[in-house]
Amino acid sequence: MRLVVVGNGMAGSRLVNEVRARDKDVRITVFGAEAWQPYNRVLLSNVVAGTSSPDQVRLLDPRWYAEHDVTARLGVAVTAIDRDCQTVVAADGTREPYDVLVLATGSEAFVPPIPGVERATAFRTLDDCERIREAAASARGAVVVGGGLLGIEAARGLAGRGVPVTLLHLAGHLMERQLDEEAGLILRETLGALGVAIRTGVTVSAIHERHVELAGGELSGGESIDADLVVLACGVRPVVGLARDAGLEVGRGVVVDDELRTDDPSIFAIGECAQHAGRVYGLVAPGWEQASVVADLVTGADKGARYRGSRLVTRLKAKSVELAAMGETQLTEDEAEIVRFSHRHKGTYRKLVIRDGRLVGAILLGETSAVGTLTQLFDRGGPLPGDRTGLLFPDLGLGGAAVADSPTRMPDSARVCQCNNVTKGQIRACWESGARDVEAVAAATRATTGCGGCRDAVEGIVGWLCEQEGVSA
Protein backbone atom coordinates (compact mmCIF):
# COMPACT_ATOMS: atom_id res chain seq x y z
CA MET A 1 0.00 0.00 0.00
CA ARG A 2 1.23 3.48 -0.88
CA LEU A 3 0.59 6.03 1.87
CA VAL A 4 1.25 9.71 1.21
CA VAL A 5 1.13 12.20 4.09
CA VAL A 6 0.95 15.91 3.29
CA GLY A 7 2.31 17.80 6.29
CA ASN A 8 5.17 16.82 8.56
CA GLY A 9 4.27 18.76 11.67
CA MET A 10 3.15 17.34 14.99
CA ALA A 11 0.16 15.43 13.57
CA GLY A 12 1.73 14.28 10.30
CA SER A 13 4.99 13.10 11.85
CA ARG A 14 3.09 11.27 14.60
CA LEU A 15 0.98 9.50 11.99
CA VAL A 16 4.06 8.35 10.08
CA ASN A 17 5.57 7.06 13.32
CA GLU A 18 2.35 5.29 14.34
CA VAL A 19 1.89 3.64 10.94
CA ARG A 20 5.45 2.36 10.83
CA ALA A 21 5.12 0.98 14.37
CA ARG A 22 2.12 -1.09 13.20
CA ASP A 23 3.23 -2.14 9.72
CA LYS A 24 6.76 -2.44 8.33
CA ASP A 25 5.64 -2.90 4.73
CA VAL A 26 3.51 0.17 4.02
CA ARG A 27 5.29 2.40 1.50
CA ILE A 28 5.32 5.83 3.15
CA THR A 29 6.10 9.20 1.60
CA VAL A 30 5.73 12.36 3.68
CA PHE A 31 5.91 15.93 2.37
CA GLY A 32 6.84 18.82 4.65
CA ALA A 33 6.64 22.42 3.47
CA GLU A 34 9.19 23.41 6.12
CA ALA A 35 12.78 22.28 5.61
CA TRP A 36 13.15 21.55 9.33
CA GLN A 37 12.84 18.07 10.79
CA PRO A 38 9.47 17.83 12.61
CA TYR A 39 9.54 19.77 15.88
CA ASN A 40 7.35 20.33 18.90
CA ARG A 41 5.45 23.51 18.11
CA VAL A 42 4.07 23.55 21.66
CA LEU A 43 7.53 24.33 23.02
CA LEU A 44 8.39 27.20 20.66
CA SER A 45 7.97 29.70 23.48
CA ASN A 46 10.97 28.02 25.14
CA VAL A 47 12.99 28.71 22.00
CA VAL A 48 11.98 32.38 22.09
CA ALA A 49 12.86 32.54 25.79
CA GLY A 50 16.24 30.93 25.12
CA THR A 51 15.64 28.02 27.49
CA SER A 52 15.57 25.49 24.62
CA SER A 53 17.48 25.26 21.35
CA PRO A 54 15.84 24.20 18.06
CA ASP A 55 17.48 20.78 18.42
CA GLN A 56 15.89 20.31 21.84
CA VAL A 57 12.35 20.66 20.49
CA ARG A 58 12.90 18.23 17.62
CA LEU A 59 10.44 15.30 17.53
CA LEU A 60 12.41 12.86 15.35
CA ASP A 61 16.10 12.22 14.87
CA PRO A 62 17.13 13.06 11.28
CA ARG A 63 18.25 9.45 10.80
CA TRP A 64 14.84 8.07 11.71
CA TYR A 65 13.42 8.23 8.18
CA ALA A 66 16.18 6.16 6.56
CA GLU A 67 16.23 3.71 9.46
CA HIS A 68 12.48 3.13 9.09
CA ASP A 69 12.28 3.15 5.29
CA VAL A 70 10.27 6.37 5.04
CA THR A 71 10.72 8.79 2.14
CA ALA A 72 10.74 12.32 3.57
CA ARG A 73 10.45 15.26 1.15
CA LEU A 74 11.38 18.09 3.52
CA GLY A 75 11.07 21.63 2.23
CA VAL A 76 8.81 20.45 -0.59
CA ALA A 77 5.19 21.66 -0.56
CA VAL A 78 2.34 19.83 -2.28
CA THR A 79 0.50 22.12 -4.67
CA ALA A 80 -2.32 19.94 -6.01
CA ILE A 81 -4.20 16.69 -5.57
CA ASP A 82 -5.25 14.76 -8.69
CA ARG A 83 -8.05 12.62 -7.27
CA ASP A 84 -8.81 10.91 -10.58
CA CYS A 85 -5.26 9.59 -10.85
CA GLN A 86 -4.76 9.36 -7.05
CA THR A 87 -1.60 11.43 -7.27
CA VAL A 88 -0.27 14.49 -5.49
CA VAL A 89 1.70 17.15 -7.35
CA ALA A 90 4.66 18.77 -5.58
CA ALA A 91 6.06 22.27 -5.97
CA ASP A 92 9.15 20.86 -7.72
CA GLY A 93 6.94 19.29 -10.41
CA THR A 94 7.18 15.71 -9.19
CA ARG A 95 4.10 13.52 -8.88
CA GLU A 96 3.60 10.95 -6.15
CA PRO A 97 0.87 8.28 -6.47
CA TYR A 98 -1.10 7.17 -3.44
CA ASP A 99 -3.55 4.50 -2.36
CA VAL A 100 -4.24 6.41 0.86
CA LEU A 101 -3.66 10.14 1.28
CA VAL A 102 -3.64 11.87 4.66
CA LEU A 103 -3.84 15.66 4.89
CA ALA A 104 -2.05 17.04 7.94
CA THR A 105 -1.52 20.57 6.65
CA GLY A 106 -2.09 22.23 10.03
CA SER A 107 -2.80 25.92 10.50
CA GLU A 108 -1.22 29.19 9.50
CA ALA A 109 -0.93 32.39 11.48
CA PHE A 110 -3.64 34.97 10.95
CA VAL A 111 -2.05 38.25 9.88
CA PRO A 112 -4.39 41.25 10.32
CA PRO A 113 -4.68 43.61 7.33
CA ILE A 114 -3.21 46.75 8.89
CA PRO A 115 -0.75 49.27 7.44
CA GLY A 116 2.87 48.27 7.99
CA VAL A 117 2.07 44.68 8.99
CA GLU A 118 5.00 43.47 6.89
CA ARG A 119 7.26 44.92 9.60
CA ALA A 120 5.87 42.44 12.14
CA THR A 121 6.78 38.79 12.68
CA ALA A 122 4.21 36.08 13.21
CA PHE A 123 4.77 33.58 16.02
CA ARG A 124 4.03 30.21 14.51
CA THR A 125 7.08 28.37 13.14
CA LEU A 126 10.67 27.66 14.09
CA ASP A 127 11.78 30.10 11.42
CA ASP A 128 9.60 32.73 13.11
CA CYS A 129 11.35 32.00 16.40
CA GLU A 130 14.73 32.48 14.81
CA ARG A 131 13.66 35.89 13.46
CA ILE A 132 12.22 36.92 16.83
CA ARG A 133 15.36 35.85 18.69
CA GLU A 134 17.60 37.74 16.29
CA ALA A 135 15.50 40.91 16.56
CA ALA A 136 15.22 40.61 20.35
CA ALA A 137 19.00 40.74 20.72
CA SER A 138 19.02 44.44 19.87
CA ALA A 139 15.40 45.48 20.49
CA ARG A 140 14.83 48.40 22.86
CA GLY A 141 11.18 47.48 23.17
CA ALA A 142 8.73 44.87 21.86
CA VAL A 143 4.99 44.63 21.31
CA VAL A 144 3.11 41.34 21.18
CA VAL A 145 -0.31 41.51 19.54
CA GLY A 146 -2.73 38.91 20.90
CA GLY A 147 -3.51 37.84 24.48
CA GLY A 148 -4.28 34.20 23.85
CA LEU A 149 -2.07 31.26 24.75
CA LEU A 150 0.64 31.92 22.14
CA GLY A 151 0.75 35.65 22.72
CA ILE A 152 1.22 35.26 26.45
CA GLU A 153 3.96 32.68 25.97
CA ALA A 154 5.75 34.90 23.45
CA ALA A 155 5.51 37.96 25.71
CA ARG A 156 6.79 36.04 28.74
CA GLY A 157 9.66 34.64 26.68
CA LEU A 158 10.72 38.09 25.52
CA ALA A 159 10.44 39.53 29.02
CA GLY A 160 12.63 36.68 30.24
CA ARG A 161 15.29 37.86 27.80
CA GLY A 162 15.20 41.31 29.38
CA VAL A 163 13.30 42.97 26.53
CA PRO A 164 10.70 45.56 27.64
CA VAL A 165 7.47 44.11 26.26
CA THR A 166 3.87 45.27 26.00
CA LEU A 167 1.09 42.79 25.26
CA LEU A 168 -1.94 44.16 23.39
CA HIS A 169 -5.26 42.33 23.36
CA LEU A 170 -8.56 43.17 21.71
CA ALA A 171 -10.83 41.53 24.30
CA GLY A 172 -11.51 42.86 27.78
CA HIS A 173 -9.33 40.24 29.51
CA LEU A 174 -6.63 37.74 28.62
CA MET A 175 -7.43 34.26 27.24
CA GLU A 176 -11.13 35.07 27.15
CA ARG A 177 -11.98 31.74 25.52
CA GLN A 178 -10.58 29.75 28.43
CA LEU A 179 -10.77 32.13 31.40
CA ASP A 180 -13.45 34.16 33.12
CA GLU A 181 -12.92 37.84 33.89
CA GLU A 182 -11.51 37.36 37.39
CA ALA A 183 -8.99 34.73 36.27
CA GLY A 184 -8.00 36.99 33.38
CA LEU A 185 -7.38 39.85 35.83
CA ILE A 186 -5.21 37.74 38.14
CA LEU A 187 -3.24 36.40 35.17
CA ARG A 188 -2.70 39.97 34.03
CA GLU A 189 -1.33 40.94 37.44
CA THR A 190 0.90 37.85 37.52
CA LEU A 191 2.39 38.68 34.14
CA GLY A 192 2.78 42.32 35.10
CA ALA A 193 4.93 41.29 38.05
CA LEU A 194 7.12 39.35 35.60
CA GLY A 195 7.76 42.38 33.41
CA VAL A 196 4.94 42.19 30.84
CA ALA A 197 2.93 45.40 30.47
CA ILE A 198 -0.61 44.63 29.30
CA ARG A 199 -3.23 46.70 27.48
CA THR A 200 -6.65 45.15 26.87
CA GLY A 201 -9.54 46.41 24.76
CA VAL A 202 -7.18 47.85 22.15
CA THR A 203 -6.08 47.10 18.60
CA VAL A 204 -3.10 48.06 16.48
CA SER A 205 -4.11 50.49 13.73
CA ALA A 206 -0.66 50.76 12.10
CA ILE A 207 2.90 49.49 12.52
CA HIS A 208 5.78 51.87 11.93
CA GLU A 209 9.52 51.32 12.03
CA ARG A 210 9.93 52.37 15.65
CA HIS A 211 6.41 52.37 17.10
CA VAL A 212 2.87 51.06 16.75
CA GLU A 213 -0.32 53.12 16.69
CA LEU A 214 -3.22 52.02 18.87
CA ALA A 215 -6.98 52.29 18.54
CA GLY A 216 -10.07 51.19 20.43
CA GLY A 217 -11.51 51.44 23.91
CA GLU A 218 -11.06 54.81 25.60
CA LEU A 219 -7.89 55.71 23.74
CA SER A 220 -7.47 59.19 22.43
CA GLY A 221 -6.33 59.65 18.85
CA GLY A 222 -2.67 59.27 18.02
CA GLU A 223 -1.59 57.15 21.01
CA SER A 224 1.40 54.91 20.27
CA ILE A 225 3.92 52.56 21.88
CA ASP A 226 7.64 52.51 21.09
CA ALA A 227 8.76 49.15 19.69
CA ASP A 228 11.59 47.83 17.52
CA LEU A 229 9.99 44.36 17.44
CA VAL A 230 6.32 43.52 16.82
CA VAL A 231 5.20 39.91 17.23
CA LEU A 232 1.81 38.77 15.93
CA ALA A 233 -0.09 36.09 17.85
CA CYS A 234 -3.57 36.90 16.55
CA GLY A 235 -4.79 33.35 16.13
CA VAL A 236 -4.53 30.73 13.40
CA ARG A 237 -6.53 29.47 10.45
CA PRO A 238 -6.64 25.89 9.17
CA VAL A 239 -4.74 25.40 5.91
CA VAL A 240 -7.48 24.07 3.63
CA GLY A 241 -6.63 25.46 0.20
CA LEU A 242 -5.25 22.15 -1.10
CA ALA A 243 -8.39 20.29 -0.03
CA ARG A 244 -10.74 22.97 -1.36
CA ASP A 245 -9.00 23.04 -4.75
CA ALA A 246 -9.36 19.26 -4.93
CA GLY A 247 -13.13 19.54 -4.45
CA LEU A 248 -13.24 18.09 -0.93
CA GLU A 249 -15.85 19.33 1.53
CA VAL A 250 -14.44 22.21 3.57
CA GLY A 251 -16.00 24.23 6.41
CA ARG A 252 -13.65 25.94 8.84
CA GLY A 253 -11.47 22.90 8.29
CA VAL A 254 -11.47 19.81 6.07
CA VAL A 255 -14.68 18.00 7.02
CA VAL A 256 -14.14 14.42 8.27
CA ASP A 257 -16.24 11.66 9.82
CA ASP A 258 -15.51 9.43 12.83
CA GLU A 259 -12.91 7.54 10.75
CA LEU A 260 -11.27 10.90 9.94
CA ARG A 261 -12.15 10.33 6.28
CA THR A 262 -13.13 13.15 3.98
CA ASP A 263 -15.91 12.76 1.43
CA ASP A 264 -13.30 10.97 -0.70
CA PRO A 265 -12.82 7.55 0.97
CA SER A 266 -9.14 7.44 -0.04
CA ILE A 267 -8.34 10.73 1.71
CA PHE A 268 -8.15 11.38 5.45
CA ALA A 269 -7.45 14.60 7.37
CA ILE A 270 -6.03 14.99 10.88
CA GLY A 271 -4.78 17.69 13.21
CA GLU A 272 -5.47 21.39 13.03
CA CYS A 273 -6.72 21.27 9.42
CA ALA A 274 -9.46 18.74 10.22
CA GLN A 275 -13.04 19.56 11.22
CA HIS A 276 -14.76 16.76 13.12
CA ALA A 277 -18.38 17.01 14.29
CA GLY A 278 -18.30 20.73 13.56
CA ARG A 279 -15.18 21.36 15.64
CA VAL A 280 -11.60 22.24 14.72
CA TYR A 281 -9.12 21.48 17.50
CA GLY A 282 -6.12 23.75 17.97
CA LEU A 283 -4.17 21.66 20.49
CA VAL A 284 -1.72 18.82 20.04
CA ALA A 285 -3.48 16.02 21.97
CA PRO A 286 -6.48 15.71 19.60
CA GLY A 287 -4.16 15.57 16.58
CA TRP A 288 -2.19 12.76 18.14
CA GLU A 289 -5.39 10.89 19.05
CA GLN A 290 -6.54 11.27 15.46
CA ALA A 291 -3.18 10.02 14.13
CA SER A 292 -3.58 6.86 16.20
CA VAL A 293 -7.06 6.21 14.82
CA VAL A 294 -5.97 6.66 11.19
CA ALA A 295 -2.90 4.48 11.74
CA ASP A 296 -5.15 1.70 13.08
CA LEU A 297 -7.48 1.99 10.09
CA VAL A 298 -4.98 2.22 7.23
CA THR A 299 -2.84 -0.64 8.55
CA GLY A 300 -5.79 -2.80 9.58
CA ALA A 301 -4.48 -3.00 13.15
CA ASP A 302 -7.94 -2.04 14.41
CA LYS A 303 -10.59 -1.70 11.71
CA GLY A 304 -13.11 -0.61 14.33
CA ALA A 305 -11.09 2.39 15.49
CA ARG A 306 -13.11 5.59 15.61
CA TYR A 307 -12.50 9.15 16.76
CA ARG A 308 -15.22 10.48 19.08
CA GLY A 309 -13.82 13.91 19.85
CA SER A 310 -11.49 15.13 22.59
CA ARG A 311 -11.90 16.63 26.04
CA LEU A 312 -9.34 19.38 26.17
CA VAL A 313 -7.12 20.61 28.97
CA THR A 314 -5.28 23.83 28.10
CA ARG A 315 -1.93 24.39 29.82
CA LEU A 316 -0.02 27.65 29.68
CA LYS A 317 3.69 27.05 29.17
CA ALA A 318 5.28 30.25 30.46
CA LYS A 319 8.04 30.36 33.06
CA SER A 320 6.79 31.19 36.58
CA VAL A 321 3.13 31.04 35.48
CA GLU A 322 1.04 27.97 36.29
CA LEU A 323 -2.29 27.76 34.52
CA ALA A 324 -4.64 24.97 33.47
CA ALA A 325 -8.18 25.35 32.11
CA MET A 326 -10.63 22.73 30.92
CA GLY A 327 -14.17 22.43 29.67
CA GLU A 328 -17.00 24.94 30.08
CA THR A 329 -15.40 27.66 32.18
CA GLN A 330 -17.79 30.45 31.19
CA LEU A 331 -21.06 29.10 32.66
CA THR A 332 -22.82 31.31 35.22
CA GLU A 333 -24.38 30.59 38.61
CA ASP A 334 -27.75 30.33 36.87
CA GLU A 335 -26.44 27.59 34.56
CA ALA A 336 -24.28 25.51 36.87
CA GLU A 337 -22.91 25.12 40.39
CA ILE A 338 -19.83 27.33 40.70
CA VAL A 339 -17.19 26.75 43.38
CA ARG A 340 -14.27 29.17 43.49
CA PHE A 341 -11.34 30.35 45.56
CA SER A 342 -9.51 33.58 44.79
CA HIS A 343 -6.42 35.10 46.39
CA ARG A 344 -5.27 37.93 44.13
CA HIS A 345 -2.33 38.91 46.31
CA LYS A 346 -0.82 35.43 45.82
CA GLY A 347 -1.90 35.16 42.18
CA THR A 348 -4.12 32.18 42.93
CA TYR A 349 -7.51 31.40 41.44
CA ARG A 350 -9.38 28.09 41.42
CA LYS A 351 -12.80 27.54 39.95
CA LEU A 352 -14.99 24.48 39.47
CA VAL A 353 -18.00 24.36 37.16
CA ILE A 354 -20.35 21.53 38.12
CA ARG A 355 -23.54 20.43 36.38
CA ASP A 356 -25.71 17.47 37.32
CA GLY A 357 -23.13 16.44 39.89
CA ARG A 358 -20.34 16.20 37.29
CA LEU A 359 -17.32 18.41 36.69
CA VAL A 360 -17.77 20.12 33.31
CA GLY A 361 -15.12 22.84 33.64
CA ALA A 362 -12.30 24.16 35.80
CA ILE A 363 -9.70 26.92 35.99
CA LEU A 364 -6.52 26.59 38.04
CA LEU A 365 -4.19 29.57 38.17
CA GLY A 366 -1.21 29.81 40.46
CA GLU A 367 -0.28 26.71 42.43
CA THR A 368 -1.95 23.84 40.51
CA SER A 369 -1.69 20.80 42.77
CA ALA A 370 -5.37 20.04 42.08
CA VAL A 371 -4.94 19.62 38.33
CA GLY A 372 -4.38 15.84 38.44
CA THR A 373 -7.54 15.15 40.43
CA LEU A 374 -9.68 17.53 38.40
CA THR A 375 -8.43 16.27 35.05
CA GLN A 376 -9.35 12.72 36.00
CA LEU A 377 -12.83 13.77 37.12
CA PHE A 378 -13.30 15.90 34.00
CA ASP A 379 -12.18 13.03 31.71
CA ARG A 380 -14.33 10.38 33.34
CA GLY A 381 -17.38 12.46 34.12
CA GLY A 382 -17.81 10.58 37.38
CA PRO A 383 -19.83 11.75 40.41
CA LEU A 384 -18.18 14.27 42.74
CA PRO A 385 -17.88 14.14 46.55
CA GLY A 386 -20.44 16.16 48.46
CA ASP A 387 -17.81 18.42 50.02
CA ARG A 388 -16.35 20.36 47.09
CA THR A 389 -13.58 21.88 49.21
CA GLY A 390 -11.42 18.80 48.81
CA LEU A 391 -11.50 19.20 45.04
CA LEU A 392 -9.98 22.66 45.24
CA PHE A 393 -7.37 21.60 47.81
CA PRO A 394 -6.62 17.90 47.27
CA ASP A 395 -3.22 18.23 48.94
CA LEU A 396 -5.02 18.90 52.22
CA GLY A 397 -6.99 15.65 51.97
CA LEU A 398 -10.31 17.42 52.55
CA GLY A 399 -13.75 16.23 51.61
CA GLY A 400 -12.72 12.71 50.69
CA ALA A 401 -11.21 13.68 47.37
CA ALA A 402 -8.43 11.48 46.08
CA VAL A 403 -5.01 13.06 46.12
CA ALA A 404 -4.39 12.41 42.45
CA ASP A 405 -0.98 14.08 42.35
CA SER A 406 0.32 11.79 45.11
CA PRO A 407 1.65 8.57 43.53
CA THR A 408 0.62 6.52 46.55
CA ARG A 409 -3.06 7.34 46.07
CA MET A 410 -3.25 7.78 42.32
CA PRO A 411 -5.02 4.81 40.66
CA ASP A 412 -3.20 3.02 37.84
CA SER A 413 -5.98 4.14 35.49
CA ALA A 414 -5.25 7.84 36.13
CA ARG A 415 -4.11 9.64 32.99
CA VAL A 416 -0.81 11.37 33.76
CA CYS A 417 0.14 12.61 30.29
CA GLN A 418 -2.84 14.23 28.58
CA CYS A 419 -1.07 14.79 25.26
CA ASN A 420 -0.09 11.15 24.79
CA ASN A 421 -2.81 9.45 26.86
CA VAL A 422 -0.33 7.77 29.22
CA THR A 423 -1.62 6.38 32.52
CA LYS A 424 0.11 5.80 35.82
CA GLY A 425 -0.25 2.06 35.17
CA GLN A 426 1.68 2.34 31.91
CA ILE A 427 4.43 4.29 33.66
CA ARG A 428 4.57 1.64 36.39
CA ALA A 429 4.80 -1.14 33.78
CA CYS A 430 7.52 0.78 31.98
CA TRP A 431 9.45 1.19 35.24
CA GLU A 432 9.10 -2.52 35.99
CA SER A 433 10.60 -3.22 32.55
CA GLY A 434 13.72 -1.27 33.46
CA ALA A 435 12.99 2.43 32.80
CA ARG A 436 14.49 4.11 35.86
CA ASP A 437 14.34 7.79 34.90
CA VAL A 438 12.05 10.25 33.12
CA GLU A 439 14.01 10.07 29.86
CA ALA A 440 13.64 6.29 29.69
CA VAL A 441 9.92 6.52 30.46
CA ALA A 442 9.53 9.20 27.78
CA ALA A 443 11.32 7.04 25.21
CA ALA A 444 9.00 4.11 25.94
CA THR A 445 5.65 5.89 26.40
CA ARG A 446 6.11 9.42 24.94
CA ALA A 447 4.98 10.89 28.29
CA THR A 448 6.35 14.46 28.77
CA THR A 449 7.01 14.89 25.01
CA GLY A 450 3.90 16.99 24.30
CA CYS A 451 3.37 20.18 26.26
CA GLY A 452 5.71 18.98 29.01
CA GLY A 453 3.20 19.84 31.74
CA CYS A 454 3.24 16.31 33.17
CA ARG A 455 7.00 16.11 33.73
CA ASP A 456 6.80 16.78 37.48
CA ALA A 457 4.11 14.10 37.88
CA VAL A 458 6.16 11.54 35.92
CA GLU A 459 9.25 12.38 37.98
CA GLY A 460 7.18 11.92 41.13
CA ILE A 461 5.90 8.50 40.05
CA VAL A 462 9.34 7.28 38.98
CA GLY A 463 10.91 8.58 42.20
CA TRP A 464 8.20 6.97 44.31
CA LEU A 465 8.62 3.60 42.55
CA CYS A 466 12.39 3.72 43.03
CA GLU A 467 11.95 4.60 46.69
CA GLN A 468 9.49 1.75 47.22
CA GLU A 469 11.90 -0.76 45.75
CA GLY A 470 15.03 0.77 47.26
CA VAL A 471 16.74 1.42 43.90
CA SER A 472 18.43 4.51 42.52
CA ALA A 473 16.58 6.66 40.03
Looking up residue 327, the CATH number of its domain turns out to be 3.30.390.30
* 133 and 280 assigned to the same domain: no
As a whole number of angstroms, the distance between CA 4 and CA 15 comes to 11
Q: What does DSSP say about strands 274-276 and 254-256: parallel, antiparallel, or unpaired?
A: parallel
pTM of the entire structure? 0.88
Please give the tally of structural domains in the chain: 4
- Strands in 95-97's sheet, in edge-to-edge order, are 78-82, 87-90, 95-97
As a whole number of angstroms, the distance between CA 258 and CA 27 comes to 25
pLDDT at 465: 81
pLDDT at 407: 63
Torsion angle of alpha carbons 108, 113, 118, 122, nearest 10°? -30
Q: Is residue 316 assigned to a domain?
A: no
Domain endpoint, select from 265, 299, 333: 299
Instruction: Please tell me the chain's helix, strand, coil percentages from 3-state DSSP, rounded to the nearest 5.
Output: 30, 25, 45
* 68 and 137 assigned to the same domain: no
Q: Is residue 317 assigned to a domain?
A: no
Q: Which residues contact 261 (CB under 8 A, 6 or more apart)?
A: 267, 268
Q: Is residue 398 assigned to a domain?
A: yes
pLDDT at 218: 58
Chunked in runs of 10, what are the mean pLDDT values of the chain (473 residues)? 97 97 97 94 89 88 93 97 98 97 97 96 95 95 96 94 95 96 97 96 93 78 88 96 98 98 98 97 93 98 97 85 93 94 94 95 87 83 84 62 52 78 84 82 83 78 78 59
pLDDT at 399: 43
Q: Give Cα 443 to chain centroid, integer Å.
A: 20
* 295 and 284 assigned to the same domain: yes
pLDDT at 409: 60
Q: Which domain holds residue 285?
A: 2-108+237-299
As a whole number of angstroms, the distance between CA 323 and CA 131 comes to 28
* 140 and 207 assigned to the same domain: yes
Domain endpoint, select from 341, 369, 403: 403
Q: Is residue 304 assigned to a domain?
A: no
Domain endpoint, select from 403, 426, 456: 403
Q: Is residue 282 assigned to a domain?
A: yes
* 370 and 340 assigned to the same domain: yes
